[in-house]
C-alpha cells in the first residue's frame, strides 16, 4: 500500500505563486555578531552626548567599564540564544534559556547594588547630566524628572535597537518568534542599559532599577510583540490552509 501523501494541488499553487529566490539566513552566531556594531552604536550615543559619569574615578574602571562590558556580552548572548530559538533544528536546552534570562536580571541588579555601594552619592542631582542643555535647565533637578528623563531616553534608545534587531531577524524566525523576540528585546534593553549606566550619574537603586529597568522591560515587551507579529505574518497556522 502506498501511504506516501500526494502533493496537494492547492499547496503547489501556493508555492508556485511565490517562488522567488531567497538569501539563506546566517547561522545564529553570525546573526548575533552582526548585531554587535548596531548595539555598540546605539548604546554609546548617550556617552557621546553627555560623557562618562562624574564618579567614574570612585567606581574605578572595572565597575564603570568592566561591568558594562559584561552586560554587553550578556546582551549579545541573549541575541545568540534568540537566533537559536528561531531555528527549528538548533534550539538550545530550555534550562540554558531560562538561566540566561535569570542571569541577565541578576547581573543588572547586582551591578546596580554594587555601583550604589561604591558611590552612593547623588551628585548628579545637583547638576544636569545633560551638559549640552546646562544653560536651559535649573541647577537642581527633581529625582522624578531625572528618572523620567532616563526612563524615556533609554526606552527610546532601546526601541530603536529593538527595531534594528527585528529588521536583521525578519527572515530568521522560523519557529518560536515570540520567545525569540522576547530574548532579543531583552538583549537590546541590556545593551542600552550597559551604555546608559556609564553615563547616568545617579546610583540610587530606585533610579537605576526603576527608570533604567523600566526601559529594559519596555524593550522586552516590544521585542515580544514584534516577534509575535513577524511570526503571525508567516507562521499563522490555519489562516490560509490549502
Partner 1 sequence: MIRYQGGSLEAFQEIYAQLAPGVRRYLSHLALGSEIADDLLQETFLQMHRSRAAYNPTYAVRPWVFGLARNVFLMNRRAARRWAAVHESREDLPEFPVLPEADRLGSQDEIRRCIAHLSPDQAEALLLHHEWGFSFEEIAGMLGISAAAARARASRGMADLRVALNNLQRAGA
DSSP 6: P
CB of 185 to partner 1, least distance (A): 19
Query: How far is CA 125 from each of CA 65, 173, 190, rounded to the nearest angstrom?
Result: 22, 44, 24
C-beta closer to partner 1: residue 69 or 242: 242
State which residue, 86 or 153, has the beta carbon closest to partner 1.
86
CB count in 10 Å sphere of residue 160: 17
Size of the site for partner 1 (CB under 8 A): 46
Question: Which residue from 62, 110, 120, 234 is in contact with partner 1, where contact means CB under 8 A?
Answer: 234
Q: Is 36 in the site for partner 1 (CB under 8 A)?
A: no
Helix (H) or strand (E) holding 92, with range, is none
Distance CA(83)–CA(180), nearest Å, equals: 7
CA distance 120 to 139: 20
Indicate whether 9 belongs to the interface with partner 1 (CB under 8 A): no
Of the two residues 94 and 136, which places its CB atom closer to partner 1 in the complex? 94
Candidate list 44, 64, 71, 87; residue touching partner 1; CB under 8 A: 87
User: Between helices 213-235 and 177-199, what is the axis angle to 10°?
Assistant: 150
Binding footprint of partner 1 on the chain (CB under 8 A) = 3-5, 7-8, 10-12, 14-16, 18-27, 85-95, 97, 171-176, 234-235, 237-238, 240-242
Amino acid at each position: 500500500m502506498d501511504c506516501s501523501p500526494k502533493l496537494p494541488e492547492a499547496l503547489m499553487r501556493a508555492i508556485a505563486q511565490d517562488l522567488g529566490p531567497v538569501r539563506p539566513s546566517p547561522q545564529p552566531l553570525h546573526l548575533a555578531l552582526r548585531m554587535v556594531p548596531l548595539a555598540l552604536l546605539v548604546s554609546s550615543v548617550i556617552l557621546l552626548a553627555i560623557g562618562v559619569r562624574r564618579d567614574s574615578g570612585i567606581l574605578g574602571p572595572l565597575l564603570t567599564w568592566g561591568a558594562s562590558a559584561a552586560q554587553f556580552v550578556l546582551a549579545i548572548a541573549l541575541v545568540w540564544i534568540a537566533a537559536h530559538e528561531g531555528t527549528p533544528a538548533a534550539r538550545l536546552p530550555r534550562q540554558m534559556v531560562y538561566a540566561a534570562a535569570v542571569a541577565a536580571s541578576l547581573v543588572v541588579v547586582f551591578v546596580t547594588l554594587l555601583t550604589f555601594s561604591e558611590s552612593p552619592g547623588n551628585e548628579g542631582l545637583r547638576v544636569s547630566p545633560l551638559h549640552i542643555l546646562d544653560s536651559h535647565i535649573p541647577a537642581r533637578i527633581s529625582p522624578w524628572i531625572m528618572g523620567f528623563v532616563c526612563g524615556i531616553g533609554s526606552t527610546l534608545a532601546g526601541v530603536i535597537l529593538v527595531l534594528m534587531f527585528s529588521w536583521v531577524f525578519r527572515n530568521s524566525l522560523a519557529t518560536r518568534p515570540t520567545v525569540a523576540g522576547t530574548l532579543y528585546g531583552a538583549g537590546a534593553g541590556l545593551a542600552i542599559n550597559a551604555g546608559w549606566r556609564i553615563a547616568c550619574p545617579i546610583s540610587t537603586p530606585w533610579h537605576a532599577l526603576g527608570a533604567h529597568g523600566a526601559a529594559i522591560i519596555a524593550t522586552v515587551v516590544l521585542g515580544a510583540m514584534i516577534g509575535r507579529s513577524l511570526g503571525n505574518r508567516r507562521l499563522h497556522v490555519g489562516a490560509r490552509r490549502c
